[in-house]
Amino acid sequence: SHFRAGHGQAGRNQKMHGKNGETKYIDVPPGTIVIDDESGEPVADLVEAGSEIVVARAGRGGLGNSHFTSSTRQAPRIAELGEPGEERWIRLELKLIADVGLVGFPNAGKSTLLAAASAARPKIADYPFTTLEPNLGVVEVGGRRGETFVLADIPGLIEGAAEGVGLGHEFLR
């Protein structure tokens, strides 16, 4: 994704400095990894809810005419331009956050177990690789405190998946 911070505004006459650029906030769920798209390096791992990072700084506003006054120039007609905001290409990746993961061969019944244990309704069919993306379900344990945990149904893995066989590199990282 391409994100650009706001540009600072130019300074003006009547002793007015320019406004700083707008700060841009992007809401992402906990577990999001921010990666610099050009270098491929991780910038941040936003694990906690409410975490914030600065990816691109907004531009500073320009100085107004009063900054350029002197004893011989009481009301100058010059002002400074605002600075441009930073621009950056980043990639946002969401890590699955689950308490339990169901891992196994294709058609082993992982999706059926998830559907039986939670309110999740994953696609269930009689052919391999029905599940192409992980499915999450909340399982209620019960008890007086109403405890729950998150169960993840992972796509079926076959021998050689790490070498790219089956879903291979499409899913494993």
Domain ranges in the chain are 1-95, 100-170
| Residue pair 58/123 in contact by the 8 Å Cβ criterion | no
Given a cut of 80, whether residue 14 has pLDDT beyond it is no
- Cα 157 to chain centroid distance, Å, stands at 27
CA–CA separation, 102 and 169 (whole Å): 19
Per-residue pLDDT, averaged over 136-148, amounts to 80
Give the residue, 16 or 111, on which the prediction is more confident.
111
Two domains, one topology: 1-95 and 100-170: no
Give the homologous superfamily in CATH for domain 100-170: P-loop containing nucleotide triphosphate hydrolases (3.40.50.300)
Give the residue, 134 or 171, on which the prediction is more confident.
134
Determine whether domain 1-95 maps to CATH 1.20.950.20.
Answer: no
| Residue pair 43/128 in contact by the 8 Å Cβ criterion | no
| Residue pair 37/90 in contact by the 8 Å Cβ criterion | yes
pLDDT band at 18 (very low <50, low <70, confident <90, very high): low
Give the residue, 35 or 13, on which the prediction is more confident.
35
Task: Report the mean per-residue pLDDT for the chain.
Answer: 75
| Residue pair 159/165 in contact by the 8 Å Cβ criterion | yes
pLDDT tens-place string over residues 82-136: 778 778 888 888 876 778 888 878 878 888 888 888 888 877 877 667 777 778 8
Per-residue pLDDT, averaged over 60-88, amounts to 72
pLDDT at 41: 92
pLDDT tens-place string over residues 81-95: 777 877 888 888 887
